[in-house]
């Protein structure tokens, strides 16, 4: 008895479906729909000994190696942080393939071709080299009818196997903070059971996974050892006093510690910090500290805060600190310079690209606001809001992180008062801003008043900058902030 099967779908799917054994008394026509593919007809003759069928299939396009191109700044290797595709996925041009992280920035790699992913060359957290293949893509080159061939039925893939593959290739959902916690503990997110909404992995899931892996052994319950009373003398020579009641002495067992040391390689932004700080400590630093009375600036900012928020920008004190620094650099350009490795040439930078040290989920990053000398306080606030949003989500680009000429570090946002900041080569100066405190101070009339005081700690390259220059710059910067109306005279 002959059974006629009409199948719609790619050749590989048809082979798996037809490979299922047909019962003698099943219906003579089976139809399977697979979207986005045109139908092809296949005939099968069922006999007691052999079951063969002829196929007319669509020839596959050429498989191209999609290589990791040069992402600039002399970067030769990156770490693969996340795959957005899996084998078998169909991609189009400009679709996201994966996210990689160099020692300077995170970059999303997009596809150059339309086609189907056939191979992934790297696992998560593996090192990928520039110029080497990332994935193999079977490109779309038009449907071409291929030669006919005899195909023997093969065992079909079960529904359970298909479901397992879909789950295995599913993209994990987690915040950057959770991903960093997993990376620090060398945990693959695909192995963690998610309890958040829509399959999102929470911080508690990571901590529970760590607890299951380490499995602390609880100490046994303490027990009491009771010492028997001393034996009574055989012949008492005098009335014996009553022995003191024995006090049970608890024996506390020593806890068993099961933790293990963990060693991991230094990579990504941490690797960049090692390189930068090693170079920085070759510079002879000198420090200078002072305090600034921000009472008038606090009053001015409170007046402008509502207006700024009505324009969609959160106005902090940092735009004022950055603008005052730029005004001071106009008078002391040596602080906005760089020194070559041989200490033979000084380059005075025309642009004031003032960096702001940020504590992000990826570690310490220093993006910079470009051309501060041409921006208003409000425009600086707009740019700071953009950089802080990108930093919080781990999306700061190379252009945001490169080209800085002068840096301010706001340690006061965490709670510090004084610091000894380290210069970021090739810059020659950096300032660390302490927390603002309400402290008693005497005004010009000798009256005791409340004042908003902030400390500042400067570090400078003592090879080309002397203490007097740093002191004069700090005094000018402080005067702009203590009397913010004076900045209006110098704004352009």
Cα–Cα distance between 271 and 267 in angstroms, integer? 5
Residue in 15, 33, 19, 22 with CA at minimum distance from that of residue 149: 15
Strands 200-201 and 173-174: parallel
Q: Which two tokens stand for residue 431?
A: 């300032």
462 is catalytic: yes
Rg (CA), the chain: 35
Cα separation, 397 vs 405, whole angstroms: 18
Catalytic residue among 162, 164, 331, 466: 466
Number of other CB atoms surrounding residue 14 within 10 Å: 21
Whether the Cβ atoms of residue 490 and residue 331 lie closer than 8 Å to each other: no
Our CA dihedral for 294, 296, 301, 303, rounded to 10 degrees, sits at 160
Burial class (CB in 10 A: 0-12, 13-18, 19+), 484: buried
Q: Return the number of other C-beta atoms located less than 10 Å from residue 35's C-beta.
A: 6
| 423 Rama sector, left if φ>0, alpha if ψ -120 to 50, beta otherwise | beta
Q: Is 305 helix (H, G, I), strand (E, B) or coil?
A: helix
Selected catalytic residue, list 37, 359, 462, 490: 462
CB atoms within 10 A of CB 16: 16
Is 37 known to be catalytic? no
- Label the pairing between strands 363-365 and 223-225: unpaired
Alpha helices (H) in 235-376, listed in sequence order: 269-280, 295-310, 318-331
Rounded CA-CA distance 383/375 in Å is: 10
CA distances from 114 to 64, 99, 306, 360 (A): 11, 19, 49, 36
What tokens appear for 61 in the block? 């396009």
Catalytic residues: 462, 466
């Amino acid at each position: 008895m002959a059974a006629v099967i009409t199948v719609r779908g790619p050749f590989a799917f048809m082979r798996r479906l037809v490979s299922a054994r047909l019962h003698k008394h099943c219906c003579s026509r089976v139809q399977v729909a697979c979207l986005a593919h045109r139908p092809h007809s296949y005939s099968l003759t069922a006999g007691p000994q052999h079951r063969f069928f002829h196929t007319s299939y669509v020839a596959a396009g050429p498989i191209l190696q999609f290589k990791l191109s040069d992402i600039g700044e002399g970067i030769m290797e990156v770490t693969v942080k996340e795959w957005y595709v899996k084998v078998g996925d169909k991609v189009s041009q400009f679709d996201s393939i994966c996210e990689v992280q160099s020692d300077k920035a995170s970059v999303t790699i997009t596809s150059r071709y339309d086609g189907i992913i056939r191979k992934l060359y790297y696992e998560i957290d593996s090192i990928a080299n520039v110029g080497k293949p990332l994935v193999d893509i079977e490109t779309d080159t038009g449907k071409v009818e291929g030669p006919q061939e005899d195909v023997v039925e093969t065992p079909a893939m079960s529904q359970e196997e298909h479901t397992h593959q879909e789950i295995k290739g599913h993209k994990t959902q987690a915040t950057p903070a959770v991903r960093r916690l997993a990376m620090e503990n060398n945990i693959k997110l695909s192995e963690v059971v998610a309890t958040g909404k829509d399959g999102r992995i929470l911080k508690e899931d990571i901590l529970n996974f760590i607890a299951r892996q380490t499995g602390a052994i609880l100490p046994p319950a303490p027990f009491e050892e009771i010492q028997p009373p001393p034996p009574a003398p055989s012949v008492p020579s005098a009335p014996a006093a009553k022995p003191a009641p024995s006090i049970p002495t608890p024996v506390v067992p020593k806890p068993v510690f099961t933790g293990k040391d963990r060693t991991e390689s230094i990579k990504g932004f941490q690797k960049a910090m090692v390189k930068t700080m090693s170079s920085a400590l070759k510079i002879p630093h000198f420090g200078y500290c002072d305090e600034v009375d921000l009472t008038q600036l606090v009053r001015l900012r409170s007046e402008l805060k509502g207006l700024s928020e009505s324009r969609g920008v959160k106005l902090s004190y940092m735009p004022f600190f950055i603008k005052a620094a730029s005004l001071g650099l106009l008078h002391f350009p040596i602080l906005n310079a760089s020194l070559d490795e041989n200490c033979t040439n000084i380059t005075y930078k025309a642009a004031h690209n003032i960096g702001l040290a940020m504590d992000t989920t990826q570690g310490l990053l220093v993006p910079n606001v470009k051309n501060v000398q041409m921006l208003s306080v409000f425009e600086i606030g707009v740019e700071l809001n953009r950089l802080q949003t990108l930093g919080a989500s781990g999306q700061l680009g190379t252009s945001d992180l490169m080209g800085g000429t002068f840096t301010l570090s706001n340690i006061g946002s965490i709670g510090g008062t004084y610091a000894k900041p380290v210069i970021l080569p090739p810059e020659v100066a950096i300032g660390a801003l302490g927390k603002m405190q309400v402290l008693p101070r005497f005004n010009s009339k000798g009256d005791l008043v409340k004042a908003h005081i902030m400390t500042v700690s400067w570090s400078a390259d003592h090879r080309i900058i002397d203490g007097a220059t740093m002191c004069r710059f700090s005094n000018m910067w402080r005067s702009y902030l203590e009397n913010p109306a004076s900045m209006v005279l110098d704004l352009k």
